[in-house]
Amino acid sequence: MQSATSGLSVMSALAVEVALNRWIIPEFQSRSGLHLDMKWGPTTVLERDVGDGRRADVLLAIDDSIDRLVADGVLVAETRRPIAQAVLGVAVKEGAARYDISTLASFKQMLCNAKGVAFSQAGASGIYFRKMIAELGIAEIVEARAVTIPAGFTAHKVVSGEAELAIQQISELMTVDGVDILGPFPPEVQVTTNFSVAVFVDAKNPADARAFVEALCSPEADIAYRNGGLVSRVSASGMVA
């Protein structure tokens, strides 16, 4: 499968980074002999980059963005595959006191009592979180203690001591060493985010790009998503028996 360039460029949402970096990418690079040039970012940033004319061979992003880009003729429709689903969760510094977040009441109390709450301004999780605390009537309290980042991983802020809580998709929280995952949001305020993959119409290495898509839909990838804090959509897509 070796290409002339021995490389493959991939733009990917942050939520799948643990699964890809720990398991899927090393195995694919070893088997194929290809080097993967990864550009990581929130889907909002990736979609903006694509809108500005930036391209890669493969895009992993939120379903809505993938669908729009397929409709616009930017991605090859027949290569679109569902891969994983992310859920929102909370992390604290490793060894810190653990809050009970099993009920909506205890979850709200935690947010109101926390010394600092870190969330992303550009990521889907942070955008939803701001809307959620407003609907819960605690926006003023939480925003007064907010520790926001433009993009990236919020858990770095609890490791550094700048915040007590980190809010993000669980798979993203797992990317950062030195944190404990408290668990997912309560069902009443939980939202899920679906991710898919597709090949760019103007991919420089279309054959290798399609091979990588197949690797992302393999039985091994199915396990990697689950181990990486995600809900796998590979089996549901019919790609794995």
Co-location of 206 and 160 in the same domain? no
Contact 152, 75 (CB under 8 A): no
Contact 118, 162 (CB under 8 A): yes
What are 1-31's pLDDT values in tens digits?
444 456 899 999 999 999 999 999 999 999 9
Q: Who wins on pLDDT, 63 or 241?
A: 63
Give me the phi and psi of 138, to 5 degrees please.
-120, 15
Task: Give the chain's domain count.
Answer: 2
Classify residue 24: in a domain, yes or no: yes
Co-location of 77 and 93 in the same domain? no
Q: Which amino acid is at 99?
A: Y
Closest CA to 199 of 191, 188, 211: 211
Co-location of 65 and 91 in the same domain? no
Q: Which helix (H) or strand (E) holds 222?
A: helix 219-227
Closest CA to 139 of 114, 112, 176: 112
Q: Is 211 helix (H, G, I), strand (E, B) or coil?
A: helix
Beta carbons within 10 angstroms of residue 145's beta carbon: 17
Co-location of 132 and 114 in the same domain? yes
- pTM of the model as a whole: 0.83
Co-location of 39 and 20 in the same domain? yes
Co-location of 110 and 24 in the same domain? no
Co-location of 31 and 116 in the same domain? no
Contact 77, 231 (CB under 8 A): no
Q: What's the pLDDT score for residue 179?
A: 97
What are 130-140's pLDDT values in tens digits?
999 999 999 99
Domain span at residue 212?
7-84+195-232
